[in-house]
Structure 1
Amino acid sequence: MPSEPPTPHTPSATTPLRPRSRHALSAVAAAALALVLAACGSTDSGSGSSDGSGKAATRVVATAHGKVTVPAHPLRIVSVHSWSTETLLDLGVKPVGVENSGETYVPPRYLKSWKAAPKVTTGADLDYEKIAELKPDLIVGVDVPYLSKDYKKLSAIAPTAFAPFSETDDWTAYPDATARFVNRTTQMAALKKKYEDRIAAVRESDGAELAHSHWDVIQGGFDNGNYWIYSTASPVGTILTRLGAGFASATTSVAKGNTESVSYERADLLKDADHVIYYTNNDGSPANNIQKLFALQAFKELPAAKKKQVVGTADFLPGSYEDALGVIDSVHEALREQAG
């Protein structure tokens, strides 16, 4: 899911905007880490199928850091990024270690599996000792800045494959890359078909309503007193476009790849939206202080609010095909409630 958290006035539409913390390793932990890395660098993971010579079979995959040799059939995978974790779970792969970006932000469908897996990060900080203890034969993630800078340390523990990170809004690149890394492209093709079939079904059932609807895409901000408006090319915007939806002026005014931070007092910017879609926590509660906007009388007077067409989704920052399906379901259910 993300790059480093944006600075208060430069939020990134491609960033899962979740609180993160940074803590330096202590001198003792750093010394212990050096010993662990040295030991791990000299051991064979021993996973994958044999090629007859006693060595594990391998494959070469293209990654953000060039070509990397990985096990043909990795058995002990550590994921250091939520987008990678979600796709692994979609593919039926249980990672032996996962990132910890905050329980409240984990979409409900992944929560049980995520809770059961050992955590290898605290916020944006990697726990190298924990990762090494898990004896991974493959480490996967996305090449966001806070992970990219530590790529060499991770590679000393096990083969590390990062999906290239882009400031564009194409979320599909991340699950596609993860599937290649773990040799599950057949399963990924099935997920893509499921997604395309669901797009077609909702366009068939809700096409008329979507064609005449105008949506604004927003999220509560970590900026003091501000919320964020996303562009039509944001992940949710892209899915809405595939469904045949139109957009209101607040979202159409934001340039591709950008997010506009505006004061909560500017609820009026959403005045021509038939629907407003926003980010929720996994329990359905508003995420990232957006409730401050909803509490304002100016927001309550908006057409979307009056008609109860304010749509929340825990899948607002999709990093997997099941996330994207969750967005589609949220839109479909909202339209069904409106029609009913």
Structure 2
Amino acid sequence: MKDLLMFRSRRGARLAVALVSVLLTGMAAACGSGSPEPAASGAAPASPAAGAYPVTIAHKYGSTTIEAEPQRIVAVGLTDQDAALALGKVPVGTTEWLGGYPGAIGPWASAKLGGAAVPTVLKDTGTGPQPEKIAALAPDLILALYSGITKDQYETLSKIAPVVAQPKEFVDWGIPWQQQTETIGKVLGKEAEAKALVASVEAKFAAAKKEHPEFAGVTGLVATPYEGIFVYGPQDNRTRLLTELGFVLPPDMKQAVGEEFGGNISKERTDLLDTGVLLWLVPDPAADSAKIRKDKLYADLKVVSEGREFYVKETGDYGNAISFVSALSLPYTLDRLVPQLAAAVDGDPATEVPQSTD
């Protein structure tokens, strides 16, 4: 989670376009005219739909046209690999974010690798995507949907391969998982399969809402103790986990954090945490819950006295899945999250919230 916050703070970083151009020219000469071998896919691939190409995708920096089915995909977007995997394409490169998983593939998605080699993981160095390492993977497509790449970074990466950047209608790192999945479906020539995948996951949300009508209209928040108290806003996918189950954000929250994916609230606005249900993502649930509750302003809130708060280890598989929010991670998340929300939302402190063990 904190890695994402650091990604946000690095938005001002710029890469040296001229230097990269020289590097790429040298690499292209070294590679010669031979075509790279396509990446193997262990996810039962289907052929793209007839007439799927060329396809043009609009995004924050204009539009990108993909002329033919991509074979070597690099995911710069932090969660973009899951949609590609779900649709039968194993990327050759992924970007490290959460968990330190081999290939940056979480346990909820690893079965989709089949017998394919795990992708090369691109480590963040604090300056955004590393064009020289991306170029070395010889991609024919770069996905940057769940990202915060700048215009300069987009233009630099576009010298390597077509880049599908984040959409302009959402904040950086704010694309909903549905749009992310369907956009990648279009890119892969599998729009119908992507829509079916989205529908299957949305059906799980619908089933949970039907089983738990008590969620409807109840205020809810996801928070973390980062530089005080950090709360996730309306365009963050962790918040959307709650709102898609029927919860709503507190009325004053948008004013407090603005349109960004989240923000810190002052100690004087601790009252904003007094919601119908409150999910904390923390490094150590036992230690951090005790520390957070030592603050009298917080401890006196009804959300505490009525047992409507609960804590999840942000660095465990479950905590990572809560932050990942992809078509593959969501079923894994919902199986664990919904029982916890149901136990917390009843307002009875005697109701024990099921504890996650992963």
TM-score where L is the length of structure 1: 0.70
Deviations 1:239-297 (A, max 9, x none): 4333222444664654662434224x45842563232123357xxx56xx976963534
- Give, in angstroms, the shift of residue 61 of structure 1: 1.8
State the Cα distance separating 1:199 from its structure 2 match.
1.7
One-letter amino acid of the structure 1 residue matched with residue 81 of structure 2: T
Higher relative contact order (CA 8 A, sep 6+): 1
Letter in 2 for 1:148: K
Q: Does 1:63 align with 2:65?
A: no
SS at match of 2:97: coil
Matches within 5 A, 1:324-339: 324-326=330-332, 328-337=334-343
Paired position in structure 1 for 2:122: 120
Alignment-derived partner of residue 132 in structure 1: 135
In structure 1, the residue corresponding to 2:80 is in which secondary structure?
Answer: helix
User: For residue 151 of structure 2, what is the amino acid of its counterpart?
Assistant: S
Shift of 1:334: 0.5
CA–CA distance in structure 2, aligned partners of residues 192 and 81 of structure 1: 19
Q: 1:311 to 1:4 in 2, by over 3 A?
A: closer
Question: Cα offset for 1:160?
Answer: 2.5
- Is 1:103 aligned to residue 94 of structure 2? no
The aligned residue for residue 262 of structure 1 is 265
Instruction: In structure 2, give the amino acid aligned to 1:103.
Output: G
Does the alignment pair 1:35 with 2:41?
no
Which residue of 1 is the match for residue 75 of structure 2? Answer: 79
Whole-Å separation in 1 of the counterparts to 2:30 and 2:10: 34
Structure 1 pair 61–233 and aligned structure 2 pair: CA distance change class (3 A) = closer
Q: Is contact 2:167-2:175 (8 Å) kept? A: no
Indicate yes or no: 2:90 matched with 1:94.
yes
Q: What aligned pairs does 1:276-291 form with structure 2 within 5 A after superposition?
A: 276-279=278-281, 285=284
CA contact (8 A) 1:4 1:146 kept: no
Distance 2:89 2:71 in 1: 9
1:148 to 143, 151, 164: 151
Tell me the residue number matched to 1:230: 232
Residue number in structure 2 paired with 1:194: 200
Cα offset, 1:336, TM superposition = 4.7
The SS at the match of 1:304 is helix
SS at match of 1:98: strand
Alpha-carbon distance change, 336 to 87 in structure 1, aligned in 2, over 3 angstroms: same
CA apart distance, 1:192 = 1.2
1:179 aligns with 2:178: no
Partners of 2:67 and 2:10 lie apart in 1 by 34
How many angstroms does 1:206 deviate by? 0.9
Which residue identity is paired with 1:183? Answer: G
For these two proteins, the number of residue pairs brought into alignment is 311
Correspondence for 1:310? 310
Alignment of 1:7-18 (within 5 A): none
1:179 shift after superposition: 1.9
| 2:326 paired with 1:320 | yes
Task: Answer whether contact 2:56 2:65 (CA < 8 A) is retained.
Answer: yes
- Matched residue, 1:219: 224
State the alpha-carbon separation in 1 of the partners of residues 25 and 290 from structure 2: 46
C-alpha distance after superposition, 1:208-264 (max 9, x if no partner):
x2137432332333xxx422223456433334333222444664654662434224x
C-alpha distance 292-145 of structure 1, shift in aligned 2 (>3 A):
farther
Contact between 2:80 and 2:146, CA under 8 Å: does it hold in 1? no
Distance in 2 between residues matched to 1:157 and 1:323, nearest whole Å: 30
Secondary structure in 2 matching 1:321: coil
* Residue identity in the other structure for 2:242: L
Mean Cα deviation higher: 193-202 or 123-132: 123-132
Query: What is the SS of the residue equivalent to 1:103?
Result: coil
Aligned partners of 2:5, 2:341: CA distance in 1, in Å? Answer: 33
* Structure 1, unpaired ranges of 5+: 7-15, 49-56
Contact 2:257 2:264 in 1 (8 A): no
TM-score where L is the length of structure 2: 0.67
Aligned mates of 2:54, 2:333 — CA distance in 1: 34
1:245 aligns with 2:247: yes
2:280 is paired with a residue of what secondary structure? strand
Paired position in structure 2 for 1:9: none
Give 1:182 shift: 1.8
Once the 2 structures are TM-superposed, how far is the Cα of residue 197 of structure 1 from its aligned partner? 0.9
SS at match of 2:64: strand
Q: Distance in 2 between matches of 1:44 and 1:203?
A: 50
AA partner of residue 179 (structure 1)? G
